[in-house]
Amino acid sequence: METNGLGIFESMRAILLLLFIFLFESAFGQLGIPRSYDPASIGQGGIQSLDRSRYQPLGNPAILGALKTAEAGAFLVQPFGLNDLAITYAHAAVQAGSGAVGAGIGYSGVNGYRAISTHLSFGHKLWNRLFAGIGMDLYYLDLADYGHTYAMGITGGLVFPILSGLDLGVILRYPFSIATSGTEDLPVYYQATLSYALSESVTLSTEWLQEADFQSDIRVGITYRPLPQLPVRIGYQSLNNGFTAGLGYQWQSRWSLDVAAGHHAYLGFTPSAGFRYRFSQP
């Protein structure tokens, strides 16, 4: 009887994990497996920044076309404060010809649950006013007693500097998901980001995100730098009526540290922290 009771408990645990994965997807507009935004994005409402001085894994791959230095980093996201769903992600980018290559790997796991994602992307500068990029992602999710599933997807992105300080970025994610026996399709995913630098210390951003079977999500964010090395970020997401906030710090022009948290009206806070290192000064 004790063994059977333990089995029921583990099954319920797996079901609850799947429920929270779905809720995390709804709150942040992405799968709850390790495909999470980094703290700099979470801090400004989940907006995928068009800041061309840093690579954001799973952001717009076209940004890599403007990257000037090689870098590496890692971050941790704890959805709704739950240790069972904590996501660890490591990433790196290096220049390659007239563009750059970025890669990342994420992991989340607990008894009976394991999720792994890998990411590879390339960005290239086409003309003075246009950057283009393409990325590929592979996801693997394993649940005890429920089997495993995996999926692949392609991401295409463009970044267009409209005016000085005004950038437009567009993304089409997973237009071609690969499905065979035992796999799960990923939805087509559209995204448009507009970023405007009012001054050297203030940047305003807004983003429209549309994922299949979900309502559109409108996001707004502000980054304010009281000091050049100290970005303060706040944001809002319409889909879950949630607010976010974050703080960064940069020293010696190479090290960066970011912390952020998003708040869900019913599920509470999702804290995040990460760092990155540039191998040379930009």
Residue 228 has pLDDT above 70, yes or no: yes
Q: How far apart are CA 47 and CA 98, in angstroms?
A: 26
Question: Between residues 88 and 180, which one has the greater pLDDT?
Answer: 88
Least confident of 2-11, 147-156, 180-189, 233-242: 2-11
Provide the pLDDT for residue 185: 58
Sign of torsion, CA 227 228 231 232?
positive
Task: Give the 3-state secondary structure of residue 55.
Answer: coil
**Distance from C-alpha of 73 to C-alpha of 190, rounded to nearest angstrom:** 27
pLDDT tens figures, 180-218 = 445 555 668 889 999 999 999 999 999 999 887 778 999
Give the model's pLDDT for residue 282: 62
Residue 52's pLDDT is what?
Answer: 82
Given this model, what pLDDT does residue 135 score?
A: 93
Greatest Cα-to-Cα distance within the chain, rounded to the nearest angstrom: 70
Torsion of CA 191, 28, 178, 145, to 10 degrees: -170
Report the length, in residues, of the chain. Answer: 282
Query: What value does the mean pLDDT take over residues 219-242?
Result: 93
The pLDDT of residue 159 is: 95
Q: Is the pLDDT of residue 227 over 90?
A: yes
Cβ atoms of 76 and 260 within 8 Å: the answer is no
Residue 28: both structure tokens together: 């942040």
**What whole-number distance in Å separates Cα of residue 121 and Cα of residue 95?**
12
Each residue of 20-72: pLDDT tens digit? 554 444 444 443 344 557 899 999 998 988 888 888 887 899 999 988 899 99
| Mean pLDDT for the chain overall | 82
Task: Please say if the pLDDT value at position 6 is more than 50.
Answer: no
Report yes or no: 22 and 13 within 8 Å, Cβ to Cβ.
no
Q: How far apart are the first and last CA of the chain?
A: 64
pLDDT of 23 reads: 47
Q: Which domains does the chain have, with CATH numbers?
A: 2-278 (2.40.160.60)
Q: What is the pLDDT of residue 176?
A: 53
CB 65 within 8 A of CB 123: yes
For the chain, give the percent of residues with pLDDT over 90: 43
How far apart (Å, rounded) are the C-alpha atoms in residues 213 and 217? 12
